[in-house]
Structure 1
């Protein structure tokens, strides 16, 4: 290791390095820092430790050039009566890098008799050790000169040892330091701690005829420095990290205690931070004005040239992508990355911010490459560093939107208003091109928009194409993937990508395995709200179907259609309700069939053949799916729908009827239909398809036995809600299949027979349901 590179204190010329006099903590820090830099422990894959640069090889922003221009001026400043120079810049702007490159340039210039002393107040501890560190470095230089002069002195005992005068001065002026006699044992290994005075030389003491004061010592030191052909340049970094009391001590040191001729100080700090610290530490009204009294010359770290920071970020982000993925980004990814960095990166001000953003990207993306969209992981880390309140808002908003999309929760108007107000406060600009505008979010969060009313700025509708693209690319706004961007793991209330892909693979090649998997999802506990099966049904809107091949659509349509009966038979879905799972399933299956109909006519025909002939959910198929198609085609009701809203063609509707009626005529099937979930839907669907006679005949046969009669009445209850949920039994529903008066008379006879047990309880429920279902005129 070259002496020039070895530490915080270096001498140029014949003078020996005095770095060994620095305190142990500082030396340990230097050692670890140098090892890190010299070993080159750095890669795009590893987080950047944010250490200041030691050489110009990785200098992206021109600090080395500035150091070359600045170094001669600093050397010149050491030739006068003393000067304090401030290198100013905000945290992260590169001040420490500038100091390192300045030190290297100063050493390269090889100025005779210039001694460079670097001290780190943030690491040195209290004020006394700071004074001691500086003075001891200067004293070592004077020791060398004193030793050279003493060789030619005739009276060596009378020779003045100015190195010891400096040490004495340090002992007297270092606040909180031990008495001189005790300090002697610390600074001079040969001196005892029993009260021996430092050997200053009789000539010095004779000059005063008394014990010298602090002022006497300082004047003697100043006179000596003026007479010598030596100069000192003291580099002090990280002043803006100090506590107020420590900042005051540094200012005291450079302006009063060690204000010597031929000594120039270079202090590095954030002006606003250091001024505030002085204001508190000195209890003055204006710390900035006080700082002006101390610093005679300032140099501000220049801002990087326009786009330099964003270009640096883009270049290194692409390198991270290539290292992790083994390939360059696609043209679409590159364009989206450019847009993300150009917009969200407008707020970048310092190289440190670039490092922090890149560290966030490295840390997350290495393990999440398969779960996130790279431009969005760059976006969210830019927002995290440059606008932390917006980052927190996004995390909260996307978590709420996730449960809204999955149908597990509702967002009330007050909450929408609060979220909207927060967003408008965070992004108040009306200029769509500004990063302070809500429109800046809409490119990657499509559910937000600029609006007059706060509640209308959030949870707005998204197009089918937006939904599909967001989900396919695993973008930040995807309800399946958003949480990876914030928590490195996916939401617990959605299927993982692996689970989803497994299900789709079964749909394409193993229908039995798919059905078994779906039945498992019916019964598998889910952390929030609905079952996993309901979640799956909800997710399969038209945009989701568009992501699948014809074979995959066929498998999902047949799988969901076959097992929906198992879902309808669970306790929570045994009774019909508005917008229940049966209706949701038919809506989504119809979307799948619409997509399949235009994608592959042959697979569509095969799918319909399996539906009409094989599905176990026959009651749902007739009462929900087929009945809706009859309505859309105008076969029943008076509201036919446009052709593009229909899942089936007229020919397909006609072809289904005989196949379904043949199944209904089978005795075994007719017996199984007694346990059909949501029986009214099935019976009215059957009636709409085949007329009244067949279902009335089936009901008559079914209700011959009293137990079945009671069961039938319970099954025919409908659903309503006001202050609570009711299950009324209406005359209008029963009268299609049974005579109402005879039905009530039969109930009377059963009650008169003084039946007990479950049937008595069921009849009591029916009586209550009849009362709840009464209509005017009943």
Structure 2
């Protein structure tokens, strides 16, 4: 490799002509074919077909044939190359051929004539090669300008002179302008008498439009079917046969082709694993150039496994080149966000099975938003996806690359099942999900999009941003708190906030990789902003984890990890969180209240001791801390300004009994404005045909004198309330009516 060359430059689709770049033995094949082609040019005219699918190396073989023919220096054999796909419609291919042959014949005659004789004869009479050129112009089917039609008239026998030999006498006896067929016979007789041979190479026949392909066939088997002229045509047999069927309206283009081509040579299939071996070695070289080292043994084994399985469908060298280009294009700039074996897998699918590639892109995009909690999948949609997957991968065999089993090895949530909807979006163990995330696999909901679009999902926080939060957690808790507040404010394209998404990203496995200092810093910062997040969050989302649920999971996981790794850090964190966190509403209404349920202090569904995040002693200590903090907030008037006031009252009741919250409520609702505000806060939430907000009698009885409250509401209505107050009173009346009919009442 030259000093400035790089393996990462995408390879073009140019055919090979360098022996050192010949991986698949085309030069050796050319050596064996060349003598047969030389002999074919001695015949009365022959058409030889080099057949193979697109990308199999036909043009490369043709290039090596030219070199071998040139190296043999066969006496008086002339090689002419025609490129009908390059020539286009406006130039006659037949005329191009006859002009080239005529030029060669002129030079041959000039070499065989005495010095000066050729130039004198050219002045005196037209050569028989002029007749050859006229023949090409007349029989070619390119449209010629009307002004040139006169130039297509055959010259008289007297003008041609002795160059045509006995053919001139024949033309004189005709006493008329000869037909094209008669001229062809004269040319054929003349060529048969000469010691000159032609080998005409025609490439890309299978790229032509049907009518153009027919014109080439017409040339080699009719118009220019001359002795001592052999044609070598390169084509994909099925494509050329189909073109002949379309243009000639024949039923069997393959049978028609048999009448045209006397000898065929099919590009041999690469030996088993040749293409995969080539792809693997080049893929490893790409990895080595980007990373400056070889992959470790485990990853190298995964690369080999990926290419051996998904690469089983490789059929041509061109496909190898296309797969490598796809790998290079993505890996050179996204190496830090991709798992190289998975990049090999999806690149192979992209080239060998585009419908499966598109299915995977859609499936993984939907799975990503399901993972982040931003969407759910309807059963009908799951059925449709499962049905289409089975159509793409119909095999039931475990070892087949055309089975769902094979894709399920690297795409999560897939399984073989008779029920279409059960084939997709199946649950995955948290450890497996963590592995996808940590290794940046194709199945990672955070990284999947890098494999398709070279950028991450817009709804997912990039790894570098998450790493920034981890660094702040270990060094700058106020800075982390400020950063989390920024994420709470920042708009996000889908349902949940960026802050909720961040809580989700810090899964148990992600937390397990952090130091004790980072765990304590992260939890403290989350506690610092939870009340701000709860106040900012207005939208109610049903059937998914709430913001408080996500925060409780994070705190619980941190406490459990520290219990195993650093008990002293855990004790300090619990004390800091409950005594100093500014998010008093979250602590009372959510975090400690859940612990009360887990310990069986409230409700009848206590969790096992080993599943609780606080010990009984810690729970009692935290209850006392929060009782004191609530009393202080009630005394200084700040309690009423906290978010989720209803949740605070329930949490306060659960940790201290009903007397303290009832006493505070009685004082607070002495003001009518506070009464209306609190009643709206105390509404519940139920769902049937729509969302309902009931205000139950049991709720009123828990915190206040219900009858007294109803009398005050009636008095407010009779007192001529403002439009704003009337609207709120109407909401309360609706809530009371719904609550009266609620079975929880």
TM-score (structure 1 length as normaliser): 0.89
Q: Pick the aligned partner of 2:645 from 660, 667, 679.
A: 679
1:117–1:137 contact (8 Å) kept in structure 2: yes
Deviation at 1:304, TM superposition (A): 0.5
Deviation at 1:397, TM superposition (A): 1.2
Equivalent residue number for residue 351 of structure 2 = 385
Query: Partner of 2:443: helix, strand, or coil?
Result: coil
Deviation at 1:290, TM superposition (A): 0.7
2:87 matches 1:124: yes
Equivalent residue number for residue 151 of structure 1 = 114
Deviation at 1:73, TM superposition (A): 1.2
Once residues 426 and 388 of structure 2 are traced to their aligned partners in structure 1, the CA distance between those partners, rounded to angstroms, is 16
Distance verdict in 2 for CA 1:577–1:689, change over 3 Å: farther
Residue-by-residue CA offset, 1:162-189 (whole Å, 9 max, x unaligned): 3223212212221246499938989xxx
Equivalent residue number for residue 46 of structure 2 = 83
Once residues 147 and 717 of structure 2 are traced to their aligned partners in structure 1, the CA distance between those partners, rounded to angstroms, is 112
Q: How does 1:724-763 map to 2 (within 5 A)?
A: 724-756=690-722, 758-763=724-729
Once residues 481 and 449 of structure 2 are traced to their aligned partners in structure 1, the CA distance between those partners, rounded to angstroms, is 29
Q: Pick the aligned partner of 1:526 from 492, 505, 508.
A: 492
1:734–1:740 contact (8 Å) kept in structure 2: yes
2:400 matches 1:434: yes
Equivalent residue number for residue 329 of structure 2 = 363
Residues 528-537 or 253-262, more deviating: 528-537
Once residues 115 and 387 of structure 1 are traced to their aligned partners in structure 2, the CA distance between those partners, rounded to angstroms, is 44
2:240 matches 1:274: yes
Once residues 163 and 633 of structure 2 are traced to their aligned partners in structure 1, the CA distance between those partners, rounded to angstroms, is 129
Deviation at 1:772, TM superposition (A): 1.6
2:276 matches 1:310: yes
2:166 matches 1:200: no
Q: Pick the aligned partner of 1:324 from 256, 273, 290.
A: 290
1:558–1:610 contact (8 Å) kept in structure 2: yes
Q: Pick the aligned partner of 2:105 from 130, 137, 142.
A: 142
Q: Pick the aligned partner of 1:695 from 653, 656, 661.
A: 661
Equivalent residue number for residue 361 of structure 2 = 395
Residue-by-residue CA offset, 1:718-737 (whole Å, 9 max, x unaligned): 11222322222112122222
Distance verdict in 2 for CA 1:339–1:670, change over 3 Å: farther
Equivalent residue number for residue 30 of structure 2 = 67
Q: How does 1:179-328 map to 2 (within 5 A)?
A: 182=148, 200-201=160-161, 204=164, 205-209=168-172, 210=175, 211-328=177-294
Structure 2 gap ranges (5+): none
Structure 1 gap ranges (5+): 1-37, 187-192
Once residues 146 and 116 of structure 1 are traced to their aligned partners in structure 2, the CA distance between those partners, rounded to angstroms, is 18
Distance verdict in 2 for CA 1:698–1:87, change over 3 Å: same
Query: Partner of 1:328: helix, strand, or coil?
Result: coil
Distance verdict in 2 for CA 1:182–1:712, change over 3 Å: closer
Distance verdict in 2 for CA 1:698–1:458, change over 3 Å: same
Query: Partner of 1:370: helix, strand, or coil?
Result: helix
Distance verdict in 2 for CA 1:228–1:751, change over 3 Å: closer
Once residues 573 and 232 of structure 1 are traced to their aligned partners in structure 2, the CA distance between those partners, rounded to angstroms, is 82
Once residues 225 and 181 of structure 1 are traced to their aligned partners in structure 2, the CA distance between those partners, rounded to angstroms, is 31
1:88–1:298 contact (8 Å) kept in structure 2: yes
Equivalent residue number for residue 354 of structure 1 = 320
Deviation at 1:617, TM superposition (A): 1.5
Q: How does 1:359-508 map to 2 (within 5 A)?
A: 359-508=325-474
Once residues 434 and 358 of structure 1 are traced to their aligned partners in structure 2, the CA distance between those partners, rounded to angstroms, is 23
Q: How does 1:9-48 map to 2 (within 5 A)?
A: 43-48=6-11
Once residues 315 and 304 of structure 1 are traced to their aligned partners in structure 2, the CA distance between those partners, rounded to angstroms, is 16
2:634–2:664 contact (8 Å) kept in structure 1: no
Deviation at 1:566, TM superposition (A): 1.2
Residues 738-747 or 603-612, more deviating: 738-747
Residue-by-residue CA offset, 1:228-259 (whole Å, 9 max, x unaligned): 22211111111000111111111111111111
Deviation at 1:82, TM superposition (A): 1.4
2:131–2:155 contact (8 Å) kept in structure 1: no
Once residues 85 and 635 of structure 2 are traced to their aligned partners in structure 1, the CA distance between those partners, rounded to angstroms, is 85
1:171–1:179 contact (8 Å) kept in structure 2: no
Once residues 137 and 231 of structure 1 are traced to their aligned partners in structure 2, the CA distance between those partners, rounded to angstroms, is 13
2:582 matches 1:616: yes
**Please, what is the CA RMSD of the aligned residues?**
2.9
Deviation at 1:704, TM superposition (A): 3.3
Distance verdict in 2 for CA 1:40–1:237, change over 3 Å: farther
Equivalent residue number for residue 190 of structure 1 = none
2:134–2:154 contact (8 Å) kept in structure 1: no
Once residues 471 and 318 of structure 1 are traced to their aligned partners in structure 2, the CA distance between those partners, rounded to angstroms, is 23
Distance verdict in 2 for CA 1:119–1:693, change over 3 Å: same
2:526 matches 1:560: yes
Residue-by-residue CA offset, 1:110-162 (whole Å, 9 max, x unaligned): 21111111111111223853112211221122112322444287995888833
Distance verdict in 2 for CA 1:583–1:295, change over 3 Å: same
Distance verdict in 2 for CA 1:178–1:704, change over 3 Å: closer
Equivalent residue number for residue 93 of structure 1 = 56
